[in-house]
Structure 1
Amino acid sequence: MFRRIFTAFTLVFSLSFTSFTHADEAAKPAITGTIQSQMDALLKDDFEQAFSYASPMIKQMFGSPQNFGTMVARGYPMVHRPADIRFLELREIAGALYQKVQVRDGKGQFHVLDYQMIKDETGWKINGVQLLKGSDLSA
């Protein structure tokens, strides 16, 4: 009896994990494309285009592309002017998808950021970015 319950639990857990893994793999190119497109726009100081990749909550919070651009330039200079970008793992935390990104800034410092992503009718949007502690590593 215990063996049957354990086998059933293992099967359900495996299927749940597998379906999430497939969802990750299917979503990752679109998610990384959104982040890369925003960084490309920021590199050109095209704050209007960069702002278009933000979620409705972020748009409401900052109100305008100019306010958003000022916040990024001052608060996330490594994202505003990255020298190198590397996409790490995509994972689910409490039902939300987070894309981890390693950025090397113009001074050679590495930073790891977590991008919370949401999907709306137009595609994936950035719903927040967090600089992970201890991510300032020397090159």
Structure 2
Amino acid sequence: MRKGLMGMVAGVMLATSVMAQEAVAPVPGIEAVISGQMRAFEGDDFETAFDYASPGIQGMFRSADNFGAMVQRGYPMVWRHDDVQFGDLRDVEGVLWQRVFVTDPGGTVHALDYRMEQIDGDWRIAGVQIARLPGVSA
């Protein structure tokens, strides 16, 4: 079931891959939400990290423990990181995506795109996908 759930998450992320995109001015609160979740992961505080997730993500994982386990396995560079830098905020067909560069403890830099959703005036993380670093080809 877990593999199926991870496959479903990956499918959703691929289905929302970057099409036409436009860089936009930073939006207050987005970087704070991502930074807050990163701090929660640093302390293994999965309850707080889960609170930063959108209702859709919360419903998908159903508990902070399930969510934390997924991050540990699927996004170890988010769970344990040495540095976090924010890149461009982009509007892709009406959805805001925040580029984040995360350096893992081994010194490798990872580019991540955070899909952001505003709910009742508060920003929440609605998904994260690993992106290619600029200038790196497959």
TM-score, normalized by the shorter chain, greater than 0.5: yes
Q: Which gives a bigger RCO, structure 1 or 2 (Cα 8 Å, sep 6+)?
A: 2
Q: Secondary structure at the match of 1:90?
A: strand
Alignment partner, residue 57 of structure 2? 58
What pairs up with 1:1-40 in 2 under 5 angstroms? 21=24, 24-25=25-26, 27=27, 29-40=28-39
What pairs up with 1:99-114 in 2 under 5 angstroms? 99-114=98-113
- Structure 1: which amino acid aligns with 2:71? V
Q: CA RMSD in A?
A: 1.8
Q: Could you tell me the TM-score, scaled by structure 2's length?
A: 0.78
Provide closer, same or farther for how the CA distance between residues 33 and 77 of structure 1 changes in structure 2, counting only shifts above 3 A.
same
Which structure has the highest helix share of the two? 1
Identical aligned pairs, as a percentage? 46
Alignment partner, residue 121 of structure 1? 120
Q: Find the aligned partners of 2:92 and 2:133 in 1 and give their Cα distance.
A: 20
Q: Secondary structure at the match of 2:29?
A: helix
Q: Secondary structure at the match of 1:48?
A: helix
Alignment partner, residue 87 of structure 1? 86
Provide closer, same or farther for how the CA distance between residues 67 and 122 of structure 1 changes in structure 2, counting only shifts above 3 A.
farther
Q: Could you tell me the TM-score, scaled by structure 1's length?
A: 0.77
- Structure 1: which amino acid aligns with 2:76? P
Cα distance, 1:122 vs structure 2: 4.9
Cα distance, 1:121 vs structure 2: 1.0
- Structure 2: which amino acid aligns with 1:105? D
Q: Find the aligned partners of 2:121 and 2:76 in 1 and give their Cα distance.
A: 28
What pairs up with 1:40-51 in 2 under 5 angstroms? 40-51=39-50
- Structure 2: which amino acid aligns with 1:80? W
Q: Find the aligned partners of 1:35 and 1:96 in 2 and give their Cα distance.
A: 16
Alignment partner, residue 69 of structure 1? 68
Give the length in aligned residue pairs.
114
Unaligned runs of 5+ in 2: 1-21
- Structure 1: which amino acid aligns with 2:54? S
Cα distance, 1:134 vs structure 2: 5.0
Cα distance, 1:133 vs structure 2: 3.2
Larger radius of gyration: 1
Cα distance, 1:84 vs structure 2: 0.2
